[in-house]
Amino acid sequence: MVTTISHSPADTQALGEAWARSAAHGKVFCLSGDLGTGKTQLVKGLARGLGITACVHSPSFTLVNIYTGGRLVLFHLDLYRLDRREQFVTAGLEDYLQPDGVAVIEWAERWFQDFGGERSRFEAQHLPKRFCWVQIVALNETERRITYEDFGA
């Protein structure tokens, strides 16, 4: 686990940019953190690090945005509005867990959430190594504690 303190949105973007430069095909970044902690700022950095020039916005109304034109395609998921397990499947979201490119998932904790007693089959300990978990905590108005952890054995 690696912990970084970000002092600005630019810091957070720079971190994402560095991660993206070394990200392999198939990598999945799972982001968790409250509203306004900087998940989308991190995604902006990931896009830049992949060489994507398009403007990144949270896909809150569509569940997924796809950015091409970089070293790898970036699939940007935001599960904020997800409230039923079946939506993973009906929206075709499972495909993005094996992305033909790189995937980043905002509100990733919702993959693992217990919806009405139905446990996710994507248990953290069963996930392959290409998954990583990123947690952002707001320490104050401009400081964020960002922890990065690889999954799998």
Give the footprint of ligand ADP on this chain (CB under 6 A). 6-9, 11-12, 33, 35-41, 58, 106, 142, 144
Secondary-structure percent of the chain, ordered helix, strand, coil, rounded to 5: 25, 25, 45
What is the DSSP-derived secondary structure letter of residue 118?
B
Q: Give the shortest CB-2-to-ligand ADP separation in angstroms.
A: 16
Q: Give the shortest CB-72-to-ligand ADP separation in angstroms.
A: 21
Q: In the chain, what is the greatest distance between 2 CA atoms, to the nearest angstrom?
A: 42
Q: Give the shortest CB-12-to-ligand ADP separation in angstroms.
A: 4
Q: Which residue number, 11 or 48, has a Cβ lying nearer to ligand ADP?
A: 11
Q: Which residue number, 116 or 141, has a Cβ lying nearer to ligand ADP?
A: 141
Binding mask 31-70 for Mg ion (x = CB under 5 A): --------xx-----------------x------------
Q: Give the shortest CB-39-to-Mg ion separation in angstroms.
A: 5
| Binds 135: which of Mg ion, ligand ADP, none (CB < 5-8 Å by kind) | none
Could you tell me the CA-to-CA distances from 61 to 54, 77, 81, 100, 101 in Å, in that order? 18, 10, 8, 23, 22
Binding to Mg ion in span 84-113, by CB under 5 A: 106
The Cα–Cα gap between 103 and 27 comes to 6
The Cα–Cα gap between 76 and 68 comes to 11
**Alpha helices (runs of H) in the chain, residue ranges in sequence order:** 9-21, 39-49, 86-90
Q: Which positions touch Mg ion (CB under 5 A)?
A: 39-40, 58, 106
